[in-house]
Amino acid sequence: MVQTRCPKCGSTRVGKGKLSGYATLQPKGKVFSLGSAIITNVCSECGFIFDLYAEKPEKFIPR
């Protein structure tokens, strides 16, 4: 469940962020997988980053 309130300072000024490029999340044991970018919530008041999740969760289906 995505929070709309910062768990650190309580602010409701929360935006979205995306870690991509070299910061992709790689599936464990899948050497040649491109992985997935990581989507985050970012507090616009204190800068706290929370609720990280994979943009492409289907990349992590066990084989």
**11-22: per-residue pLDDT in tens?**
999 999 998 777
Name the token pair of 32. 């040649």
What are 27-56's pLDDT values in tens digits? 887 777 788 999 999 999 999 999 999 999
Nearest to 45 by CA among 6, 2, 4: 6
Local confidence band at 3 (pLDDT 50, 70, 90 cut-offs): low
- Collapsing DSSP states into helix, strand and coil, what is residue 51? strand
If we measure between CA atoms, which residue out of 47, 27, 46, 49 comes closest to residue 36?
27
pLDDT at 45: 98
Separation between Cα atoms, residue 20 and residue 49, nearest integer Å = 15
